[in-house]
Amino acid sequence: MSNTAKLAPDTDNLLLGKGALYFDRLDASDATTGELDLGNATSFEIQMSQTMKDHLTSRSGIRKVDLSIPIEEKMTVKFVLEEYTQHNLLMALRGDTVGYVVQSAAAGVVVSLTAKRDRWLDTGYRQLTLVAVTHGVTTFTENYDYKVDYTTGRIFPIATGTIYEGEALTVTLSHAAINQPKLNMSQRDVTGFLRFVPNNDQGPWWEVQLWKVTLKCDSGIGFITEDWGKLSFSGDVDEDAENHPSEPYGRMINVKTSTVTS
């Protein structure tokens, strides 16, 4: 029996596309790390382009092109993600791996700071639980002389309080244990295998496999926005003729179509 792709014209060929993107990033040793689901993507496209070299003849009148040959071929991808996962942000920031801010619980930690009124001062610790601010025998009052951001571990000398500019402050604090993920930035190129698996509302289901794509975030990373945040990526598809001589950039497979001979 046969279940083959339909030739045009046929409305089954019209596309209203949906699907999922997966990326297998190469690590610093060029080893694969496994295909990671990149989450909801609002668009995905690939483009093949050529740069042509024209020759002009001047034998008569207006010069005309009498020969044009391709001198450069390039394939690129573009896609937009919506999920601000740590791995998507690592790709956008050219980070390497997810690290962690580790802090053991402690009490009675003493930190010396120089007061700057109406400015936040970092204590060097996070997730504070208790805070006392003193100068000599003077104990200052929270929310009158200073404010505390317990999450980020900062104090704020209030200008209308009794802490003066440049005063030497002793901050005695307690903090909780934490193990919070952190992302490094601008470490190395983001390169790997990109796969698109379709799940269309309408049209043929073409799975896209691209052997080696070098990605970059080509938009701002919106952390304050009136609409859903987006991470826009573009990338160059590198030729891999050594491992895939007959399909150097990648391939597309129609996953809904097959031809079976019985």
Q: What pLDDT, in 10s, does the model give residues 49-67?
A: 889 999 999 988 899 999 9
Mean pLDDT within 222-237 = 94
Mean pLDDT of 147-172: 98
Got the DSSP string for 114-148?
E--TTS-EE-S--SEEEEEEEETTEE--BTTTEEE
Which tens digit of pLDDT belongs to each residue from 173-229? 999 999 999 999 988 899 999 999 999 999 899 999 999 999 999 989 999 999 999
CB 52 within 8 A of CB 206: no
**What local confidence, expressed as pLDDT, does residue 209 receive?**
97
Q: Can you count the helices (H) and strands (E) in the chain?
A: 1, 19
pTM score: 0.85
